[in-house]
Each structure stands twice: as structure tokens, then as C-alpha cells.
């Protein structure tokens, strides 16, 4: 065997893990299948809750619900269009469906059905998309890096990007209670449990400040909130004081809180597990620009051009396949990459 | 004519409870002279309804000066039978939870459905004059949020059967005996989502779903056989696990026989494939070069109405004047069989009480 044989390099090279790798970091507390358990619990209280999946129950934690309430689970096969159409039909007769598949299929493949069957009539259908952003190393076929961009333009759709298991557990009953259609970016499997350490409750449509800080404001959503919290803690050692504002609801955006927090003269950094096109960064940017923030008060900058935003997110390109830690480092989503970016910007 | 049928193996749901459907088989009616006379009158009444639906459609088309008039004339017989002889609904309460659902996925057929809803008493005939006007509840492409009795927003084709799938799953889960009908076009069979739904209905054994396919053999870019061949249509549905019947969709007697048979069918979804003729009932338009979006000149509308009336008169029928209500007012929910409207299914009366 020569020195270049793969075996010789194996210990140093990460490999693409199973399709859905856990995003938990070493030593992090996790909860197993928080969505499935939350839905099964909710269904104990609400007889109108039903579940559907498109041959991905096992991979979207819907199997927990299916096992608890088999008579209320409808398997639709690998057919996302009819799954969303059928979810609309179930809602039309008064039931409250949660329909799960991968985000790429819910958004790219079945958009017309989500738009016209569910959103246009304003039905209480809750679409649950797994593998949002960069949470799989399988490449563009599975990486829903632009799902928020696709869906933000859909009138009446509530979009939620939860940070951890606590967020998911609390979001599920809130989404069912909301009268209109929703889209939940699902974290599945062993999901980090972080927000129970903070004075936090999920409120639909509300951003929540998780920690205060004088120098930098992180505005984050989804799994990037847990990374933002870790980066903020580490940056204390550099005497950089970082606040974290968690924005679990992408639409409708909590403009009031964002506007108030982003205009206090701190460096504003947005963090999202999504392309920089059409996601949180542009939502925050348009929120500030439409409000004229920074242009007259000079709160954010002295240039008069408005509050500058440092956007951390995925590049506008089709991403590589590989191991998630490698990819998160490469594309700037890792805690290490976040800290380096903040230091460079200050 | 006799309907042609092909029986497919009934699909069994993996959940045995889901297969528990009551089977209120109707005894065969005695074949005496009285029954034959009643049936003849039933057919004639439906022919009158179909005439009025066509007449309404022509009037609406004239207001707009254009429209999917060819399709409306072609599908009028189907809608007459469905709304006056098949569906269980309350004209004064289109949201009645126990109603049968009729899903129009072909939104551009709205002109025909508005005419049928007027014939059914859901809409006032006078409102048809607003068709396509700003602020009207009767837009050119059918939408649920605009029109009472319009169950879904069609227009983007290939959606209706998927929604029907979910409604049928939900209604069965709730123990309702309401039936779900979806009118789709043969052009809509191009859409893959239609076949996703066809698989799902069969897999789940949804015998509370009936698809009605209007095979007019014409789509936007020309004859279906040249755009994207869908025949043999019946074989395809049968292969997907559906109970199939194919009839002349402009033969009311054949339609009545087919729906009578479908009432007793259990164990799988059913499809009624209806061969129809664009412009049916108005020779001027039947013989015109077949067009998806038919042009009718201003001076032709009256000719069309006259031809329609002549054809109907030739059957020995004297249509009611426009605007006359053609249905008996329906009884409220939970009433007895005797008090039900004529459009109620005999075997569905008093259900879900």
C-alpha cells in the first residue's frame, strides 16, 4: 500500500455522513425527534390533528406521530404534489394537517400546490420541511438553500425557522393554533437543546433577545441562533460584547423589534442557514431601509447610507457535497467562521 | 346507450377499519310501466336543465363577447345530471358540512358551472349577467373565494383530484358519507399530479371519490391526439385501480344509468369517462373549426340561441323561460327523506344525523 492510499488518510478526512447528519456539536445536549413527539402530544389534546408524509415519515420524525396515532396518519407515497393537495382537502373538511417531506420537495417541486391549494384559500395546513439550508452533505438535490427565498413571496404563509428542540416543541402547538398556512424548517433526529438555558418562550411572529451586548448585535434565525450564542460567549474572551436577537418567525417579520434593536449603533450581523439571497439578511435589510433607519439619525453608521449589515449565510451558488462540519467551515456557518468574521468586521 | 364498464380489483386499505363502509344497496326498482314513465320524465327534466344551462352559458358568453363557450356547451349535459340528479346539497346553504363536494379543477369551465349553479338554485339567475365584470362574484376562471358553491380554485390544472383525495380521506375519517366528485378534462390528464392523485385514491381505497373526465379531445394547442396522446384513457384509469365507466357525455340517459351504477359501487374510486362534443347543441358552433377559446361574432349569439331552442324543441320539449327557478327548494339538514329535495341521493338521505 503506498502512502497515498485512502486508508492512510482516513483518520484526517471527514466523510459525508448519513443523509441527515445531526447538527449537534460534541457534548451538546440533544432531544430526540422533538417534532414527532410534540405533534403526537398535541394530537392527544386535539382530535383534529392529522399527519401526512411523502415516503419520508421516518426521515422527518413523523414516524413518532404515525406510531402514536396510526388512524390519523396518511401515507401519500413519493408524491409531494398530491400530498399537499390532499393536505388542503383534509383542511377543507375541518382537519388540521401537518405534512412533512424534505424542504427541497415541499418548495421546489410542489410549490404550485402549496401556493394555490393551501395558501390562496388560507387553509390551516402546516408544511414541515426537513433538511433546510445546509443540513445535509448530499449536494443541491437535497440542500434547500433557497427555500425561504422561494416562500417569502407567498401571501399569507407564516414561515418559522426554529433554533433547537425547545423552539420546535413550542412552535408545533402554536402553528396548529394559527388559523392560516405555515411552513416549518425542520431540525430532526438528535436536535440540540439550548434555549431552555435562556429566559425564552416561542411566540409566533415575535423576535426574542436572548442576550444583551454593547458592541455587536447578532440577528439570527434557525440553527444559526445556537451558533450565534456560542460565538457570542467565545467573543467575551476578546472583550467583544455581543447581543443575540433570535428571529424564529421569518414571516411575518417582527419589524418593530428588529428596527428598535438594529438602530442602537452596534455592528449588525445577520446569521442564517440559507442563501444570502431572499432570506433573513434581505428581510432585515429591507425592514431597515423601508423604515429609513440610519439615514437621518445616524444611529447605525456615520455615512448616512443607513445601517450597515454584515450578512452571514450561504453563498449564491450550488453547494458542494461532503461532511457537514467541513461544509459549514467552508461556507462560513461554523462558530469558528462566525467569530473570525466578527473580528474582521470590527 | 348502454354504458361500458370495466371492473378493477377493489383496493384494500392497510387499515382494516378504513374498509368499513356501509353498503346501502338499493333494491332494484320494479320494472313496470310506472317506473318506466317516471324514468322517462326524469330524463326529460334533466334535458330541460341541460337546455337552460346551455342557454345561460350563451347569454354569459355574449356579455363577455368571448369565452369557453364550446366547453360549456359540451359539458352541460354532465352538469345537468350531476346537479339535478346526483349531488346531495342544500342550494341555500352551500357550506352545509354533509354536502357532496363537486370540485371543478378546470377553472376555465367556470362559465358552465355558474350556469349549473343557477340551474341548481345556488346562484340567482340574474347574477349571471355579471359574469366576468369587475367586482363580480363570477370571475372568468373559477375561484372558491369568489363564488358560493365553488369548492376550489381551479385554473392551474392537475389540482382538483389531489384536493379531492384529501377531502375524501378526511370525510371518511370523520365518518361522513358525503361523496367527492372532481370534474377534470382530458387535457388535465397531461399533468403528472393527476396521476399522483389517481394512485393515492386507489391505494387508500377511496370509494367516496368519483372522477368525471370530460373527453372533448381538444386542448389549448389543438386536438389532444396531436398535443399529447392520452388514449386509451379508460385503460389507464383501470390500470391505476379505478372502477371505470365510459359513456357518451352528451347522452343524458347514458349518464343517468352510469351514475345509478356508480351509486352502488364500493371498494375503489370510480371514474366516469365522458366523450363530449365541443359546442354541443348549437350546430353553428359544433361545426366551427374546433378551438379551445372559441370566437363568436356579435351577430352569432342570437343565431346560437335560436339553434339551441330549435334543437330542444325538436325533442318535443318546451323550455322554461330564462330566469325561472327549476328546482324545488331543499329541506334543511336532518330532515326526513320525504322532505328532501329532488337532487338528494335516495340512499344518502338522513345520513350523518
A interface mutation test: which of B106, B163, B171, B176 has the most A CBs within 10 A? B163
Whether B9 has a pLDDT exceeding 70, the answer reads no
Mean pLDDT, to the nearest integer, of B322-328? 42
Indicate the pLDDT class of residue B29, thresholds 50, 70 and 90.
Answer: low
Q: Is A96 on the interface with B (CB under 8 A)?
A: no
pLDDT at B119: 98
Please report which helix (H) or strand (E) contains residue B104, including its range: strand B101-104
The residue in chain A having the minimum alpha-carbon distance to the alpha carbon of residue B100 is A93
Question: Rounded to an integer, what distance in angstroms lies between the CA atom of residue A142 and that of residue A105?
Answer: 9
Indicate the pLDDT class of residue B327, thresholds 50, 70 and 90.
Answer: very low
Whether B329 has a pLDDT exceeding 70, the answer reads no
Cis before B61 (ω within 30): no
Cβ separation A82–B151 shorter than 8 A: no
Whether A298 has a pLDDT exceeding 60, the answer reads no
Contact residues, chain B, for A84 at CB < 8 Å: 162
A interface mutation test: which of B101, B157, B160, B196 has the most A CBs within 10 A? B196
Cβ separation A74–B168 shorter than 8 A: no
Domain ranges in chain A are 26-192, 205-345
Q: Is B141 on the interface with A (CB under 8 A)?
A: no
Cβ separation A84–B162 shorter than 8 A: yes
Domain ranges in chain B are 4-10+43-348
Which residue among A77, A91, A113 sits closest to B162, beta carbon to beta carbon? A113
Most confident of A22-31, A73-82, B286-295: A73-82
Distance from CA of B198 to the nearest CA of A (A): 9
- Chain B contacts in chain A segment 201-230 (CB below 8 A): none
Helices marked H in B147-251: 160-173, 192-203, 224-227, 233-239
Indicate the pLDDT class of residue A2, thresholds 50, 70 and 90.
Answer: very low
Mean pLDDT, to the nearest integer, of B282-307? 89
> Which class does domain A26-192 fall in?
alpha beta
Whether B20 has a pLDDT exceeding 50, the answer reads no
Dihedral, A24, A30, A31, A32 alpha carbons, nearest 10:
50
Phi-psi domain of A269 (left: phi exceeds 0; alpha: psi -120 through 50; beta: other)? beta
Give the residue from A299, A311, A217, A295 showing the smallest Cα distance to A263. Answer: A299
Identical fold for domains A26-192 and A205-345, yes or no, is yes
> Is-contact B55 B125, C-beta < 8 A?
no
Which residue among A81, A86, A94 sits closest to B169, beta carbon to beta carbon? A86
Question: Rounded to an integer, what distance in angstroms lies between the CA atom of residue B247 and that of residue B230?
Answer: 17
Dihedral, B185, B187, B193, B194 alpha carbons, nearest 10:
40
Whether B211 has a pLDDT exceeding 50, the answer reads yes
pLDDT at B78: 98
Cβ separation B168–A87 shorter than 8 A: no
Residues 6+ apart with CB under 8 A from B256: B39, B42, B43, B46, B81, B85
User: pLDDT tens-digit profile of A217-267?
Assistant: 999 999 999 999 999 999 999 999 999 999 999 999 999 999 999 999 999
Distance from CA of A332 to the nearest CA of B (A): 39
The residue in chain B having the minimum alpha-carbon distance to the alpha carbon of residue A77 is B200
Question: Rounded to an integer, what distance in angstroms lies between the CA atom of residue B162 and that of residue B160?
Answer: 5
Whether B23 has a pLDDT exceeding 50, the answer reads no
Q: Is A322 on the interface with B (CB under 8 A)?
A: no
Long-range contacts of A286-292 (CB under 8 A, 24+ apart): A287/A253, A287/A255, A287/A258, A287/A259, A288/A258, A288/A259, A288/A262, A288/A263, A291/A255, A291/A259
Distance from CA of A117 to the nearest CA of B (A): 7
B interface mutation test: which of A80, A85, A126, A156 has the most B CBs within 10 A? A85
Core vs surface per residue B12-26: b (16+ CB within 10 A) or e: eeeeeebeeeeeeee
Question: Rounded to an integer, what distance in angstroms lies between the CA atom of residue A147 and that of residue B315?
Answer: 60
pLDDT at B30: 59
Mean pLDDT score of chain A: 93
Cβ separation B197–A85 shorter than 8 A: yes
Whether A163 has a pLDDT exceeding 60, the answer reads yes
Which residue among B145, B159, B170 sits closest to A90, beta carbon to beta carbon? B170
The residue in chain B having the minimum alpha-carbon distance to the alpha carbon of residue A110 is B193
Question: Rounded to an integer, what distance in angstroms lies between the CA atom of residue B298 and that of residue A151?
Answer: 45
Cβ separation B196–A79 shorter than 8 A: yes
Distance from CA of A88 to the nearest CA of B (A): 6
Give the residue from A143, A136, A156 showing the smallest Cα distance to A275. Answer: A143
Instruction: Name the least confident of A41-55, A164-178, A289-303, B94-108.
Output: A289-303
> Is-contact A318 A140, C-beta < 8 A?
yes
Give the number of beta-carbon pairs within 8 Å between A and B: 103
B interface mutation test: which of A70, A84, A86 has the most B CBs within 10 A? A86
Please report which helix (H) or strand (E) contains residue A74, including its range: strand A73-75
B interface mutation test: which of A46, A52, A92, A155 has the most B CBs within 10 A? A92
Between residues B291 and A343, the one the model is more confident about: A343
Q: Is A89 on the interface with B (CB under 8 A)?
A: yes
Whether B229 has a pLDDT exceeding 50, the answer reads yes
Question: Rounded to an integer, what distance in angstroms lies between the CA atom of residue A19 and that of residue B211?
Answer: 39
Whether A126 has a pLDDT exceeding 90, the answer reads yes
> Which class does domain B4-10+43-348 fall in?
alpha beta
Which residue among B97, B162, B173 sits closest to A82, beta carbon to beta carbon? B162
Residue A292 Cα distances to A268, A308, B329, angstroms: 16, 12, 60
Q: Is A119 on the interface with B (CB under 8 A)?
A: no
Cβ separation B167–A89 shorter than 8 A: yes
Q: Is A344 on the interface with B (CB under 8 A)?
A: no
Q: Is B196 on the interface with A (CB under 8 A)?
A: yes
pLDDT at A17: 66
Contact residues, chain B, for A67 at CB < 8 Å: none
pLDDT at A112: 98
CATH 3.40.50.920 fits A205-345, yes or no: yes
Mean pLDDT, to the nearest integer, of A30-50? 98
Total residue count of chain A as it appears in this document: 346
Whether A4 has a pLDDT exceeding 70, the answer reads no
pLDDT at B334: 37
Question: Rounded to an integer, what distance in angstroms lies between the CA atom of residue A341 and that of residue B256?
Answer: 73
Say what the ipTM of the complex is.
Answer: 0.91
B interface mutation test: which of A82, A83, A122, A127 has the most B CBs within 10 A? A82
Q: Is B167 on the interface with A (CB under 8 A)?
A: yes
Mean pLDDT, to the nearest integer, of A45-55? 98
B83: DSSP letter: I
Q: Is A6 on the interface with B (CB under 8 A)?
A: no
> Is-contact B57 B70, C-beta < 8 A?
no
Whether B330 has a pLDDT exceeding 90, the answer reads no
Instruction: Name the least confident of A9-13, A250-254, B129-133, B137-141.
Output: A9-13
Q: Is B147 on the interface with A (CB under 8 A)?
A: no
Q: Is A55 on the interface with B (CB under 8 A)?
A: no
Amino acid at each position: 500500500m503506498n502512502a497515498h492510499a485512502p486508508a492512510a488518510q482516513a483518520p484526517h478526512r471527514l466523510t459525508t455522513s448519513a443523509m441527515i447528519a445531526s447538527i449537534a456539536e460534541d457534548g451538546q445536549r440533544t432531544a430526540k425527534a422533538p417534532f414527532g413527539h410534540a405533534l403526537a402530544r398535541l394530537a392527544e389534546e386535539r382530535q383534529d390533528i392529522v399527519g401526512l408524509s411523502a415516503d419520508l415519515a421516518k426521515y422527518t420524525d413523523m414516524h413518532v406521530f404515525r406510531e402514536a396515532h396510526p388512524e390519523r396518519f396518511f401515507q401519500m407515497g413519493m408524491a409531494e404534489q398530491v400530498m399537499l393537495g390532499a393536505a388542503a382537502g383534509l383542511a377543507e373538511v375541518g382537519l388540521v394537517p401537518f405534512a412533512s417531506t424534505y424542504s427541497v420537495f415541499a418548495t421546489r417541486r410542489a410549490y404550485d400546490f402549496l401556493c394555490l391549494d393551501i395558501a390562496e384559500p388560507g387553509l390551516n395546513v402546516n408544511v414541515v420541511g426537513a433538511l433546510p439550508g445546509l443540513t445535509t452533505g448530499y449536494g443541491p438535490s437535497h440542500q434547500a438553500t433557497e427555500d425561504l427565498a422561494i416562500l417569502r413571496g407567498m401571501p399569507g404563509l407564516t414561515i418559522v425557522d426554529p433554533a433547537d428542540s425547545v423552539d420546535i416543541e413550542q412552535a408545533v402547538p402554536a402553528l396548529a393554533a394559527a388559523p392560516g398556512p405555515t411552513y416549518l424548517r425542520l431540525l430532526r433526529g438528535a436536535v440540540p437543546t439550548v434555549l431552555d438555558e435562556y429566559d425564552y418562550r416561542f411566540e409566533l411572529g415575535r423576535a426574542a433577545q436572548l442576550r444583551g451586548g454593547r458592541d455587536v448585535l447578532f440577528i439570527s434565525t434557525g440553527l444559526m441562533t445556537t451558533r450565534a450564542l456560542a460565538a457570542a460567549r467565545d467573543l467575551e474572551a476578546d472583550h467583544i460584547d455581543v447581543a443575540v436577537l433570535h428571529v424564529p418567525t421569518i414571516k411575518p417579520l417582527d419589524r418593530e423589534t428588529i428596527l428598535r434593536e438594529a438602530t442602537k449603533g452596534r455592528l449588525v450581523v445577520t446569521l442564517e442557514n440559507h442563501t444570502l439571497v431572499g432570506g433573513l439578511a434581505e428581510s432585515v435589510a429591507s425592514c431597515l431601509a423601508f423604515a429609513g433607519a440610519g439615514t437621518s439619525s445616524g444611529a447605525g453608521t456615520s455615512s448616512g447610507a443607513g445601517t450597515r449589515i454584515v450578512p452571514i449565510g450561504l453563498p449564491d451558488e450550488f453547494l458542494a457535497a461532503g461532511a457537514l462540519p467541513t461544509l459549514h467551515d467552508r461556507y462560513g456557518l461554523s462558530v469558528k467562521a462566525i467569530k473570525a468574521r466578527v473580528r474582521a468586521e470590527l | 346507450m348502454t354504458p361500458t364498464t370495466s371492473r378493477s380489483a377493489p383496493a384494500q386499505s392497510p387499515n382494516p377499519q378504513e374498509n368499513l363502509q356501509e353498503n346501502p344497496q338499493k333494491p332494484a326498482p320494479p320494472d313496470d310501466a310506472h317506473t318506466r314513465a317516471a324514468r322517462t320524465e326524469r330524463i326529460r327534466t334533466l334535458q330541460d336543465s341541460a337546455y337552460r344551462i346551455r342557454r345561460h352559458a350563451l347569454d354569459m358568453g355574449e356579455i363577455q363577447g368571448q369565452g369557453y363557450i364550446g366547453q360549456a356547451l359540451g359539458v352541460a349535459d354532465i352538469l345537468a345530471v350531476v346537479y339535478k340528479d346526483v349531488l346531495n346539497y342544500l342550494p341555500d346553504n352551500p357550506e352545509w358540512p354533509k354536502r357532496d363536494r363537486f370540485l371543478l379543477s378546470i377553472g376555465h369551465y367556470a362559465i358552465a358551472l355558474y350556469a349549473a349553479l343557477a340551474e341548481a338554485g345556488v346562484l340567482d339567475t340574474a347574477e349571471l349577467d355579471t359574469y366576468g365584470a369587475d367586482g363580480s362574484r363570477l370571475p372568468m376562471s373559477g375561484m372558491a373565494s369568489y363564488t358560493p358553491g365553488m369548492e376550489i380554485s381551479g385554473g392551474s390544472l392537475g389540482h382538483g383530484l389531489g384536493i379531492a383525495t384529501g377531502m375524501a380521506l378526511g370525510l371518511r375519517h370523520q365518518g361522513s358519507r358525503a361523496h367527492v366528485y372532481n370534474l377534470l378534462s382530458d387535457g388535465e390528464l397531461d399533468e403528472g399530479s393527476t396521476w399522483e392523485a389517481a394512485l393515492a385514491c386507489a391505494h387508500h381505497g377511496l370509494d367516496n371519490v368519483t372522477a368525471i373526465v370530460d373527453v372533448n379531445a381538444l386542448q389549448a394547442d389543438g386536438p389532444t391526439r396531436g398535443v399529447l396522446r392520452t388514449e386509451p384513457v379508460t385503460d389507464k384509469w383501470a390500470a391505476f385501480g379505478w372502477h371505470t365507466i365510459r359513456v357518451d357525455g352528451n347522452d343524458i340517459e347514458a349518464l343517468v344509468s352510469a351514475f345509478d351504477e356508480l351509486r352502488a359501487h364500493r371498494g375503489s374510486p370510480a371514474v366516469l369517462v365522458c366523450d363530449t362534443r365541443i359546442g354541443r347543441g348549437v350546430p353553428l358552433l359544433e361545426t366551427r373549426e374546433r378551438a379551445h377559446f372559441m370566437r363568436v361574432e356579435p351577430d352569432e349569439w342570437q343565431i346560437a340561441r335560436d339553434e339551441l331552442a330549435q334543437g330542444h324543441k325538436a325533442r318535443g320539449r318546451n323550455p322554461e323561460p330564462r330566469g325561472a327557478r327549476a328546482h324545488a327548494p331543499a329541506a334543511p339538514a336532518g330532515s326526513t327523506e320525504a322532505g328532501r329535495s329532488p337532487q338528494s341521493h335516495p340512499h344518502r338521505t338522513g345520513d350523518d344525523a
